[in-house]
Structure 1
Amino acid sequence: MLKVGLTGGIGSGKSAVARRLAALGAVVVDADRIAREVVAPGTEGLAEVVAAFSDRVLDADGALDRAALGAVVFGDEAARRRLEAITHPRVRARTAELVAAAPADAVVVNDVPLLVEVGLAPTYHLVLVVQTAVATRLARLSRDRGMDPAEAERRIAAQADDARRRAVADALLTNDGTLAELHDAVDRLWHERLLPYERNLRARHAVRPGPTAPTGPDPTWPEQYARLAARIRHAVGGDVRVDHVGSTAVPGLAAPDVIDIQLTVPSLEEADGPLADRLAEAGFPRLPGEWWDAPRRPDRVHWAKRLHGGADPGRPVLLHLSPAGSAGWRYALLMRDHLRADPGRRADYLQVKRDLAATAPAGAEQGTLGDPWFDEEHLRAEEWAAQTGWRP
């Protein structure tokens, strides 16, 4: 199943997006609803909340007075953390039950207001953020919820700001227009990205990037890499080395819109084991066939590696699994750092990439090492490494 994290600030219209996704066929798991369930009257959760904050957080019927509790914890970090220690484990356990009960081919959307604050983004295949201007959110909170303006401002300030949310967003929905416009955007996302992503994930099919002309440079490439790397680390577990390599790893360089990532592995045998399954489940299936880098200096050699792609049709990615310390592993890091250090070499590199993209036959791979320029550039990079004392 495809697991999507949905978030947005209070008053952003996140619930409208969740309802539209449910109407389209998504299984929506509402963290707010679960949070209410785990502190309903008669639950252990409510008993712990009362023990922590006294019965002043109860209403006349003995149920949780959420406004009273909010007044206690908003703006008081220690109190908020006490509350989270009570509710979050229970919410996670109930969420896991509901996700496990969903069909194998489901698109499961977990509606989590505090997804960013709690650091959950790497646990999803894709994160969807609803963004709305603060002035619009304040007006909605006043009109639709009858919230005092000062209280609304305090609630907004207590949550992550737009910049932090954008940093985790694989897809960003701007909700400053009409409801019809929002629905159109959600529908496009569903049909063009979420459904194909789910099918690819279930089939363990990686979208293989074809030859494309350089674009950009896109200043968000490092941010996009960071999101992918966080998912890879979460899937693999442990202290693993993950590096942004290739053209998009060089700031200011126009490049084909493909994020190249190198995952350091102890050996190719390790790469062929359970690690490959964990990566596929996280959205990075292995590409079939044998893969290697093959420079021709001084004689053609094959630096074997494993290559995975991305199941997400909205983000082309190539994940290279190379053994630590191997020649191919070192080459990827050396060429990246050499180009980062020398603007003149970046200009030459860009021209070669453009020529290769223009002459590549339809359906060909995005190859580069077969071009003689890269043999010569490898020599230059090695000279630069010796002069500067570079180490990977």
Structure 2
Amino acid sequence: MLRVGLTGGIGSGKSTVSGRLGELGAVVIDSDLLAREVVAPGTEGLRDIVAAFGEGVLAADGSLDRAALAAIVFSDDDARRTLNGIVHPRVAARTGEMMAAAPSDAIVVHDVPLLVENGMAPAYHLVLVVDAPVEERVRRLVAARGMAEADARSRIAAQAGDEQRRAAADVWLDNGGERTVVLSEVDRLWAERLVPFEVNVREQRVHGAGSPKIVDYNPEWPAAAARLIARVQAATGGAPVEHIGSTAVPGLAAKNVIDLQLGVDSLEEADKLAHALAEAGFPRYPDALTDTVLPSHPDPEVWRKRVHCSADPGRPVNLHVRVRQWPAWRYVLIFRDWLRAHPEEVAAYAAVKRELAPEFAADGGATRYADAKSPWIQAALTRAVEWSGGSADRPW
């Protein structure tokens, strides 16, 4: 099962996207609909709301008068917390039931208006954010919902802003133009990313990054790494994770592959985490691996590690699982931090990458390319260890 979180500000047209995903075959769980369901006439939810806020929140037919309730809770934090305490647990329970009932090969789209505000992003394999310019959102709310303009602007201002949503978004869908444009984008996303992503997760299959191709530094890499780190930590119970490798060094040209380092106390612990990581979208790379571009050590076992890669066709990831007490964990961090502190070394490393990558473009993988970089990296690691206060003779 692939879990996709869908969110967007009020008036962004999120329902357009969720509707299309449903047409394409997704199992859509709409939190707004569930919130209505759990307070429908005759439910315990409605009885608890009346007990908390009085008979004045009921319409003439006995249903919930949403406008009357909104007038009470919108500007009163305590009242809003009381309402959330009634509704949210019931919505969560129904969501869990619907998730459990979905087929094992489903793409489940969880439509949650306050996904960002409630910090829910790490629970999903992918988060889609639907956006539209504020003025367009105001126009829609006034025209389609009959809101007063001041009310529309107030509600928009009360929600997460663009910066917060962009930090959570794996995919940003601009729904400010013609409806056909965003629908076409959703169709492409479904075919090229969501469907193969689901298959890879279900079959615990990595999606290879392909031949080495060096691109300019992308300032969005750190935010992507932060989202991935949150998912890995959610899957592993908060284990330490670091953004490492070239994409962790500002200004450094690199392959568009995020490298992360997950710390464990033993390789046995790493193996116990393998299933949870695979379920979270990071299947284990099948071969046993050893760090090779590292100094000699009396015990070569300390260079052993596990590697997981992304199942997401749209975001290549290498997740290196290393024992924190072994030297490789520290060594990788020293190299990253040394590069961050030495712009001239960043430029030199980028030149080596750009020179070597074309030679291996037809390989279909990056193994020979990595081997070709080894002489430069070996020499650079010696300088990095000395910079950190260590000894080039005993860097570990």
Q: TM-score, normalised by structure 2?
A: 0.94
Determine the structure 1 residue equivalent to 2:329: 329
Determine the structure 2 residue equivalent to 1:364: 365
The 2-side partners of 1:105 and 1:343 are apart by 47
Determine the structure 2 residue equivalent to 1:383: 386
Determine the structure 2 residue equivalent to 1:129: 129
Determine the structure 2 residue equivalent to 1:138: 138
4+ residue stretches of structure 1 with deviation over 6 A? Answer: none
Which deviates more, 39-48 or 196-205?
39-48
The 1-side partners of 2:184 and 2:234 are apart by 33
Determine the structure 1 residue equivalent to 2:245: 246
Deviation at 1:110, TM superposition (A): 0.6
The 1-side partners of 2:346 and 2:154 are apart by 48
Deviations 1:299-329 (A, max 9, x none): 8957111000001100000000000121221
Deviations 1:90-119 (A, max 9, x none): 100000101111111111101111111111
What code does the residue aligned with 1:343 have?
Answer: P
Determine the structure 2 residue equivalent to 1:282: 280
Structure 1 residues 121 and 296: alpha-carbon distance in aligned structure 2, compared to 1, 3 A threshold: closer
Deviation at 1:80, TM superposition (A): 1.6
Residue 222 of structure 2 is aligned to residue 222 of structure 1: yes
| Secondary structure, counterpart of 1:386 in structure 2 | coil
What code does the residue aligned with 1:257 have?
Answer: N
The 2-side partners of 1:156 and 1:209 are apart by 39
Deviation at 1:78, TM superposition (A): 2.2
Structure 1 residues 387 and 277: alpha-carbon distance in aligned structure 2, compared to 1, 3 A threshold: closer
In percent, how many aligned pairs have the same letter? 55
| Secondary structure, counterpart of 1:118 in structure 2 | coil
Deviations 1:10-63 (A, max 9, x none): 110000111111111111011000000111111111111122222222111221
The 2-side partners of 1:101 and 1:296 are apart by 49
Number of corresponding residues: 388
Residue 271 of structure 2 is aligned to residue 272 of structure 1: yes
Structure 1 residues 110 and 296: alpha-carbon distance in aligned structure 2, compared to 1, 3 A threshold: closer
What code does the residue aligned with 2:255 have?
Answer: P
Structure 1 residues 27 and 298: alpha-carbon distance in aligned structure 2, compared to 1, 3 A threshold: closer
Q: Are the aligned partners of 1:74 and 1:158 in contact in 2 as well (CA < 8 Å)?
A: no
Structure 1 residues 204 and 98: alpha-carbon distance in aligned structure 2, compared to 1, 3 A threshold: same
What code does the residue aligned with 1:261 have?
Answer: L
Determine the structure 2 residue equivalent to 1:309: 309
Q: Are the aligned partners of 1:213 and 1:353 in contact in 2 as well (CA < 8 Å)?
A: no
Residue 265 of structure 2 is aligned to residue 263 of structure 1: no
What code does the residue aligned with 2:170 have?
Answer: D
Structure 1 residues 211 and 224: alpha-carbon distance in aligned structure 2, compared to 1, 3 A threshold: same
Taking the TM superposition and a 5 Å limit, the aligned residue runs for 1:173-252 are 173-237=173-237, 239-252=238-251
CA RMSD of aligned residues (A): 1.9
Which deviates more, 293-302 or 33-42?
293-302
Structure 1 residues 168 and 36: alpha-carbon distance in aligned structure 2, compared to 1, 3 A threshold: same
Deviations 1:187-209 (A, max 9, x none): 00100100010011111001122
Determine the structure 2 residue equivalent to 1:84: 84
The 2-side partners of 1:210 and 1:334 are apart by 28
The 1-side partners of 2:134 and 2:79 are apart by 26
What code does the residue aligned with 2:365 have?
Answer: A
Determine the structure 2 residue equivalent to 1:54: 54
Q: TM-score, normalised by structure 1?
A: 0.95
Q: Are the aligned partners of 1:222 and 1:249 in contact in 2 as well (CA < 8 Å)?
A: yes
Instruction: Note the residue ranges of structure 1 that are not aligned, 5 or more in a row.
Output: none
Q: Are the aligned partners of 1:368 and 1:374 in contact in 2 as well (CA < 8 Å)?
A: no
The 2-side partners of 1:182 and 1:133 are apart by 14
Deviations 1:127-171 (A, max 9, x none): 000010010001011111111111111111111112111111111
Q: Are the aligned partners of 1:201 and 1:283 in contact in 2 as well (CA < 8 Å)?
A: yes
